[in-house]
């Protein structure tokens, strides 16, 4: 068997021990004689996995008791709609900080529901930086402020979060969840699709402050109601049991290697390997993001000529490095170095980049 290093942005690489355990247990879960994914979600065996997953998320991310943790199907895109439907009441304004494609998509869904304000728009600087506090124009008493902490396509990331003057801060953390500790005192809600740092696609992990949750509208179709998901402990309807099980395995893996402090250390080490090559390349590799706004999860670069980009792509594929082609909207290359990407995978990529430059630069 030859395994490629998978740099895909999502669905993306999962920890090998997680895939191995899942494949061992898929048919006969812990000697029960049937698969976990064939079992009732109301039974004792599944219930244990379900609650353990919630508890592990709380433990690893140090989520305080004044936050609910829920699972909702539909990915982060469903949250783009559920957030304004639940919190953007008539007469209120929601603030959106637009730093790239994903925060723009969230804004567009907010706009479809109610009154929205773009508190900062990165369009003028080609989305190459995160705004400073002084550049953000917040609405007084807004329903919420929304931002995307890591722009998966644009390759930029918030290193710390803005002050919002008591207005709940809602953060799309799809492409960086579980990669660093979070300042819960600043956060109203954090949400993330599972298919990058947690599990296969199919669900979002949602962490919501209890006082914000209380404000969620209840006159919505049932699946769109945060209060129902909370009251029923994410078992209002049939949950995506496979995705939750895989999330459980990934969280156990994070814990086994040393928790968030180890994940953060490895993240920095991996990001440095690639950014150092880019910075020392004398313009052979180009990353146009302001240095302090660079993403440590999705690293983007271009080469000076299109011909070279074609050659680079052929070369990486031969070297067993997969999923490096940049998003179709921006071109170039993107290395998604999520938690499950081993340091050796990133080393293989940085060695390839160095050799390629030496040959073609």
Task: Tell me which residues touch ligand PMP (CB under 6 A).
Answer: 10, 75-77, 102, 148, 152, 172, 174-175, 193
* Helix ranges (DSSP H) in 232-342: 241-257, 259-279, 306-318
193/332 with CB nearer ligand PMP: 193
12/350 with CB nearer ligand PMP: 12
Beta strands in the chain (DSSP E): 5-6, 67-73, 93-98, 115-121, 145-148, 150-151, 156-157, 169-172, 189-193, 203-209, 285-286, 298-303, 321-322, 333-336
What is the smallest separation between the CB atom of 148 and ligand PMP, expressed in angstroms?
5
Residue nearest to ligand PMP (CB): 75
Out of 172, 227, 245, 296, the active site residue is 172
326/352 with CB nearer ligand PMP: 326
Out of 102, 120, 245, 301, the active site residue is 102
Active site residue 102: yes
Active site residue 172: yes
Out of 104, 129, 196, 270, the active site residue is 196
CA distance 86 to 166: 18
What is the smallest separation between the CB atom of 170 and ligand PMP, expressed in angstroms?
12
Q: What share of the chain is helix, strand, coil (3-state, %, to 5)?
A: 45, 15, 40
Active site residue 196: yes
Q: How many residues does the chain have?
A: 361
76/169 with CB nearer ligand PMP: 76
Nearest to 285 by CA among 359, 354, 338, 343: 354
What is the smallest separation between the CB atom of 101 and ligand PMP, expressed in angstroms?
8
What is the smallest separation between the CB atom of 106 and ligand PMP, expressed in angstroms?
7
DSSP 119: E
What is the smallest separation between the CB atom of 193 and ligand PMP, expressed in angstroms?
3
167/190 with CB nearer ligand PMP: 190
CA distance 270 to 309: 22
The alpha carbon of 344 is separated from its chain's Cα centroid by a whole number of angstroms, namely: 22
Nearest to 211 by CA among 177, 166, 174, 164: 166
Q: Could you list the active site residues?
A: 102, 172, 196
């Amino acid at each position: 068997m030859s395994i490629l290093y998978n740099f895909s942005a999502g669905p993306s690489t999962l920890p090998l021990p997680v895939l191995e355990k899942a494949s061992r247990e898929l048919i006969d879960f812990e000697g029960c004689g049937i698969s976990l994914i064939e079992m009732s979600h109301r039974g004792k065996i599944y219930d244990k996995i379900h609650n353990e997953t919630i508890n592990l998320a709380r433990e690893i991310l140090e989520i305080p008791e004044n936050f609910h943790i829920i699972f909702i199907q539909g990915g982060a895109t469903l949250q783009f709609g559920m957030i304004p439907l639940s919190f953007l009441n008539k007469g209120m304004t929601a603030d959106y900080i637009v730093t790239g494609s994903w925060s723009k998509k969230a804004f567009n869904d907010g706009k479809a529901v109610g009154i929205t304000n773009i508190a900062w728009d990165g369009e003028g600087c080609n989305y190459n930086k995160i705004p400073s506090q002084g550049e953000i124009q917040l609405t007084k008493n807004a329903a919420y402020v929304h931002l995307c902490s890591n722009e998966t396509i644009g390759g930029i990331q918030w290193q710390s979060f803005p002050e919002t003057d008591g207005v709940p801060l809602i953060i799309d953390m799809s492409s960086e969840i579980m990669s660093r500790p979070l300042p819960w005192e600043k956060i109203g809600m954090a949400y993330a699709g599972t298919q990058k740092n947690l599990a296969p696609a199919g669900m979002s992990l949602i962490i919501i402050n209890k006082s914000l949750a209380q404000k969620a509208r209840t006159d919505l179709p049932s699946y769109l109601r945060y209060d129902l998901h909370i009251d029923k402990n994410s078992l209002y309807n049939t949950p995506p049991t496979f995705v939750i099980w895989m999330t459980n395995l990934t969280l156990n893996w994070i814990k086994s290697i040393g928790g968030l402090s180890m994940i953060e250390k490895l993240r920095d080490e991996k990001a440095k390997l690639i950014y150092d090559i880019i910075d020392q390349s004398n313009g052979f590799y180009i990353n146009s993001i302001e240095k302090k706004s660079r993403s440590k999860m999705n690293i983007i670069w271009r080469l000076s000529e299109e011909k070279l980009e074609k050659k680079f792509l052929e070369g990486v594929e031969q070297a067993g490095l997969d999923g490096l082609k940049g998003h179709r909207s921006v071109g170039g290359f993107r290395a998604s170095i999520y938690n499950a990407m081993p340091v050796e995978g990133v080393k293989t990529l940085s060695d390839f980049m160095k050799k390629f430059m030496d040959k073609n630069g």
